[in-house]
Amino acid sequence: SPSTYGHFGGSGTMLWIDPAAEVTCIAVCDREFDEWAVAAWPPFSDRVRAAYSSAGSDSPTRPASPNLG
């Protein structure tokens, strides 16, 4: 939603919070932020939102891990 905010960390971590959808996503890894993260995090975030939406807010599911190479 337009109210989503977050942060990409220099160590490859990512956090976003969507208060309107009541969804939070945190991804932690040990790879320095680079082109791989630019390519990986948006589709990963889309899958998190899709999994949460399809499961409903009472029973969130864990989406499959992206292939980060």
Model pLDDT for residues 3-58, shown as the tens digit of each residue: 999 998 888 788 999 998 889 999 888 888 888 888 988 899 999 988 888 766 55
Task: Tally DSSP H helices, then E strands, for the chain.
Answer: 1, 3
The strand pair at 23-27 and 5-8 is best described as unpaired
Residue 36 Rama label (left phi>0; alpha psi -120 to 50; beta) = alpha
Q: What is the pLDDT, as a whole number, of residue 9?
A: 83
Q: What is the pLDDT, as a whole number, of residue 67?
A: 56
Which residue in the block uniquely carries the two structure tokens 């959808």?
Answer: 21
